[in-house]
Amino acid sequence: MSLEQVTKADQPATDDEAMLVRVQREDFSIDEELKRVRRRSKRIGGIAMFLGTARDRSKGKDVDGITFEHYEGMAQKKLREIRERAIKDFGVIEVLVLHRYGELTIGENIVLIIAAAEHRAEAFRACQWAIDELKQITPIWKLERTPEGEVWVEEHP
């Protein structure tokens, strides 16, 4: 076994690679996630970030809270695909994709995308593409609680 292999095997179990794509109930720390991305490479010179939060209005109606449901397994698979394609197609160094599930109150964090590149242009492009793609292909559903009752978003197109 070479020295390189030994070093790799000795890395902690909470390997950053697995932590770069997550679907989780608990909130995340933006500082911690930024650190996680920055640790990946010293070549990073520009980082773009998108944070989606729970707002109190939807299609003109008041919203008291949101519940996110996800398809365990497929959701993670799609987010991994988004990270891999963003890195491959946009020439960025690293991409982190996190999404929360469960009951959220207004103002809470929902989704975080961090795209890190050598320069800002690729970082911005990859970040925008990743959040747009996430919304299109990731099996995550949103139930809004309103004064009139609960509504699955897109239920009444």
Helix and strand counts by DSSP (H, E) for the chain: 5, 10
Nearer Cβ to other proteins (10/154): 154
Q: How far is the CB of 81 from other proteins (least distance, A)?
A: 11
Backbone angles phi, psi at 31, to 5 degrees: -60, -45
Neighbours of 101 (CB within 10 A): 17
Q: How far is the CB of 20 from other proteins (least distance, A)?
A: 20
Nearer Cβ to other proteins (38/142): 142
Q: How far is the CB of 38 from other proteins (least distance, A)?
A: 27
Write the DSSP assignment of 33-59 as a string of letters. Answer: HHHHHHTT-TT--EEEEEEEE--SEET
> What does the binding site for other proteins look like in residue numbers (CB under 8 A)?
68-69, 71, 73-74, 77, 132, 134-143, 152-155, 157
